[in-house]
Structure 1
Amino acid sequence: MTAGQRGRYSKFIRPISIFLDLCAINFGAFFIPDWLNLDRYYFLLYINIVWIGLSFIVKFYAVYRFTTPVEIFSKLVRQGLLYLLLLIAFFPFAKTAMFSGRALAIYIVSVMTVITIFKFLLFYYLKKYRIITGSNLRNAVIIGYTPEAIRLRELFDKRIDYGYRFMGYFSDKKSNENIKGRLDTLKQFSIDNGIDEIYCSLNEISNDQLKDLVEFADSTHKSIKFIPDTKEIFSKSLKVDYLELFPVLSLQRTQLHEPAVKGFKRVFDILFALFIIFTVLIWLVPVLAILIKLESKGPVFFKQGRPGINETEFFCYKFRSMKMNETTEREASKNDPRVTRIGRFMRKTSMDELPQFINVLVGDMSVVGPRPHLWSQNKSYGQKVKKYMVRHYVKPGITGLAQVRGYRGEIETDDDMINRIKFDVFYIENWSFLLDLKIILQTVINIFKGEEKAY
Structure 2
Amino acid sequence: MNHRLTTLLRLCFAFLDLIVLNLVFIICRYVFRTHIPGDMEIQYSYLWFSSNLAWGIAAWANGIYHDRLMYSFEKFSRMTMKAFVYFVVLEMLYLFFYKEADISRLFIISVLTSFLSSLLLNRFLHLTVLHYVQRKHHIVRKIIIVGYNTQAKKLALYLEQEPIKTEIMGFCERDDNIQELTNYPVIGDIDNLLSFSRTNQVTEIFSTVAPEQDPRLYPLMEEADRSLIRFRIVPDLSYFVRKPVYLDYINDIPLLTLRREPLDDVGNRIKKRLYDIAISSLVIIFILSWLVPILALLIWLDSRGPIFFVQQRSGKDGKTFNCLKFRSMRMNADADAKQATKKDVRITRLGRFLRKSNLDEMPQFFNVFMSDMSVVGPRPHMIKHTEDYSKLLDHYMIRHFLKPGITGWAQIHGYRGEIRIVDDINNRVEYDLWYLENWSLWLDTRIMFLTALNMVRGEKNAY
Q: Bin the TM-score by the shorter chain.
A: 0.5 to 0.7
Superposed displacement of residue 371, structure 1? 0.8
Q: 1:140 aligns with which of 140, 143, 162?
A: 143
Q: Which residue of 2 aligns with 1:362?
A: 370
Q: 1:207 to 1:357 in 2, by over 3 A?
A: farther
Amino acid at match of 2:246: L
Report SS of the residue matched to 1:233: coil
Superposed displacement of residue 441, structure 1? 4.0
CA–CA distance in structure 1, aligned partners of residues 67 and 219 of structure 2? 30
Amino acid at match of 2:403: K
Amino acid at match of 2:412: V
Q: Which residue of 1 aligns with 2:413?
A: 405
Q: 1:125 to 1:280 in 2, by over 3 A?
A: farther
Report SS of the residue matched to 2:392: coil
CA–CA distance in structure 1, aligned partners of residues 216 and 276 of structure 2? 50
Q: Which residue of 2 aligns with 1:171?
A: 173
Q: Which residue of 2 aligns with 1:344?
A: 352
Q: Which residue of 2 aligns with 1:60?
A: none
Amino acid at match of 2:138: S
Q: Contact 1:407–1:416 at 8 Å: present in 2 too?
A: yes
Amino acid at match of 2:231: I
CA–CA distance in structure 2, aligned partners of residues 253 and 301 of structure 1? 38
CA–CA distance in structure 2, aligned partners of residues 358 and 370 of structure 1? 17
Bigger relative CO (Cα 8 Å, ≥ 6 apart): 1
Gaps (5+ residues) in structure 2?
A: 16-65, 71-122
Q: Contact 1:241–1:250 at 8 Å: present in 2 too?
A: no
Q: 1:269 aligns with which of 270, 273, 276?
A: 276
Q: Which residue of 2 aligns with 1:425?
A: 433
Amino acid at match of 1:306: R
Q: Contact 1:228–1:234 at 8 Å: present in 2 too?
A: no
Superposed displacement of residue 394, structure 1? 1.3
Report SS of the residue matched to 1:168: strand
Q: 1:179 to 1:381 in 2, by over 3 A?
A: same
1:159-213 CA-partner distances (Å, limit 9, x unpaired) = 44x3544333222333756223322222223344443332222479815245444
Work out whether 1:257 is the aligned partner of 2:264.
yes
Q: 1:185 aligns with which of 192, 196, 201?
A: 192
Aligned length: 351
Gaps (5+ residues) in structure 1?
A: 1-9, 22-65, 71-119
Superposed displacement of residue 383, structure 1? 2.5
Q: Which residue of 2 aligns with 1:391?
A: 399
1:305-327 CA-partner distances (Å, limit 9, x unpaired) = 21111112222111121233444
Q: Which residue of 1 aligns with 2:112?
A: none
CA–CA distance in structure 2, aligned partners of residues 357 and 294 of structure 1? 24
Superposed displacement of residue 152, structure 1? 4.0
Report SS of the residue matched to 1:225: strand
1:91-130 matches, within 5 Å, as 129-130=132-133
Amino acid at match of 1:386: D
Superposed displacement of residue 219, structure 1? 5.0
CA–CA distance in structure 2, aligned partners of residues 69 and 276 of structure 1? 35
Superposed displacement of residue 348, structure 1? 0.8
Report SS of the residue matched to 1:291: helix
Report SS of the residue matched to 2:415: coil
RMSD of aligned Cα (Å): 4.1
Work out whether 1:448 is the aligned partner of 2:456.
yes
Q: Contact 2:311–2:324 at 8 Å: present in 1 too?
A: yes
Work out whether 1:208 is the aligned partner of 2:215.
yes
Q: Contact 1:306–1:316 at 8 Å: present in 2 too?
A: yes
Deviating above 6 A after TM superposition, structure 1's stretches of 4 or more consecutive aligned residues are 122-126
Superposed displacement of residue 214, structure 1? 4.1
Amino acid at match of 1:237: V
Q: 1:159 to 1:248 in 2, by over 3 A?
A: closer
Q: Contact 1:239–1:252 at 8 Å: present in 2 too?
A: no
Q: 1:268 to 1:207 in 2, by over 3 A?
A: farther
Q: Contact 1:146–1:229 at 8 Å: present in 2 too?
A: no
Report SS of the residue matched to 2:416: coil
1:235-384 matches, within 5 Å, as 235-242=243-250, 247-330=254-337, 331-384=339-392
Q: 1:277 to 1:164 in 2, by over 3 A?
A: farther
CA–CA distance in structure 1, aligned partners of residues 218 and 242 of structure 2? 19
Q: 1:411 to 1:247 in 2, by over 3 A?
A: closer
Q: 2:203 aligns with which of 196, 199, 204?
A: 196
Superposed displacement of residue 389, structure 1? 0.9
Amino acid at match of 1:296: S
Superposed displacement of residue 347, structure 1? 0.5
